[in-house]
Amino acid sequence: MLSLPFNSKNYHILLIAFVGTGLTLLLYFMNQQILAGIAIIITGTLLLSAMISLDAAKNARPLILADLSPNHREIILENAGTSAAEKVEITAAGIDEPWHIDRLEPDTPTRLTLPKMVQSLIVEVTYQVQDSPRKSKAFSLGKFEPEQDPFKPMFPLFGWKEK
């Protein structure tokens, strides 16, 4: 049996490239330069999207996000990445017991109930991806920064005053 040196994803990229190039050349030799230009733009777009999806599948990793709920009684933990996070441990400043989650799947939010309502909180999330070393990320939740005025000049000229 014939063994191909590339996987099926590379086969899709090569198929798009050959079909797109062939269609472009066919249209060009039929004196349809505008349609050939459109075909080459569509082919390039399809090739780029196939290469990006192949790269994203090859480099899958979790992206952990944390936030406080609107009533400030829960921590909302979400994995916005493309891979599952395993052995997740969440520790919060001022709270003795950490939370443990065995596996946090992609695009899966989890709510962790706080013992009391808080105004601000510092949370550290430690997780592992398969057999790699554990990673840690700290979040400062609930602290509101004052809203910046987009029209405030960087260098106050001409007697500009804060109101």
pLDDT digits (tens, 9 = 90+) for 62-121: 888 888 888 888 888 998 888 888 888 999 888 888 889 898 888 888 998 888 888 888
How far, CA to CA in Å, does 136 sit from each of 65, 112, 139?
A: 12, 18, 10
Instruction: Find the mean pLDDT for residues 14-22.
Output: 88
Give residue 129's region: left, alpha or beta (phi > 0; psi -120 to 50).
beta
Integer angstrom CA distances of residue 154 from 138, 146, 149, 157 = 31, 17, 11, 9
Q: What is the pLDDT of residue 94?
A: 82
Between the CA of residue 33 and those of 30, 42, 84, what are the distances in Å? Answer: 8, 14, 48
Beta bridge partners of 109: 78
Question: What pLDDT does 1 receive?
Answer: 44
Other beta carbons within 10 angstroms of residue 152's beta carbon come to 9
pTM of the model as a whole? 0.61
Residue 42's pLDDT is 92
Q: How many helices (H) and strands (E) does the chain have?
A: 2, 7
